[in-house]
């Protein structure tokens, strides 16, 4: 199996940034509890209210299973609710 890196670029309005950052720990806790193959995540602040969420997965199958679940837990839903726009999302293989 090849490790998978999920790259999601989002826009968060300035008035939602505090809630976005406050919701992050709950989202990560829910991923750790509910997502097989979740290895960790990093959040990068970009210019213009944009953020890059970098999530590491054990395999493409684990990533796909997570995508199927969506915002099925409160911490995940709270985090997603603070995002104003998903700009791009793609997966790649870790080298």
Q: Provide the residue ranges of all domains of the chain, joining segments of one domain with +.
A: 4-90
pLDDT of 95: 87
Q: Are 86 and 8 in contact (CB under 8 A)?
A: yes
Could you report the per-residue pLDDT of 74-89, keeping only the tens digit for each? 999 999 999 999 999 9
Could you report the per-residue pLDDT of 9-68, keeping only the tens digit for each? 999 999 999 999 999 999 999 999 999 999 999 999 999 999 999 999 999 999 999 999
pLDDT of 63: 96
pLDDT at 91 over 90: yes
pLDDT of 8: 98
Q: Are 70 and 34 in contact (CB under 8 A)?
A: no
Q: 4-90 adopts what CATH topology?
A: Alpha-Beta Plaits (3.30.70)
* φ and ψ of 77, to 5 deg: -60, -40
pLDDT of 2: 81
């Amino acid at each position: 199996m090849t490790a998978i890196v999920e790259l999601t670029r989002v826009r968060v309005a300035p008035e939602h940034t505090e809630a976005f950052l406050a919701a992050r720990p709950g989202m990560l806790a829910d991923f750790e509890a509910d997502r097989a193959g979740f290895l960790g995540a990093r959040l990068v602040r970009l210019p213009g209210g944009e953020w890059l969420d970098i999530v590491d997965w054990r395999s493409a199958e684990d990533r796909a299973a997570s995508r199927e679940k969506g915002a099925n837990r409160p911490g995940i839903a709270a985090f997603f609710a603070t995002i104003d726009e998903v700009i791009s999302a793609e997966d790649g293989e870790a080298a």
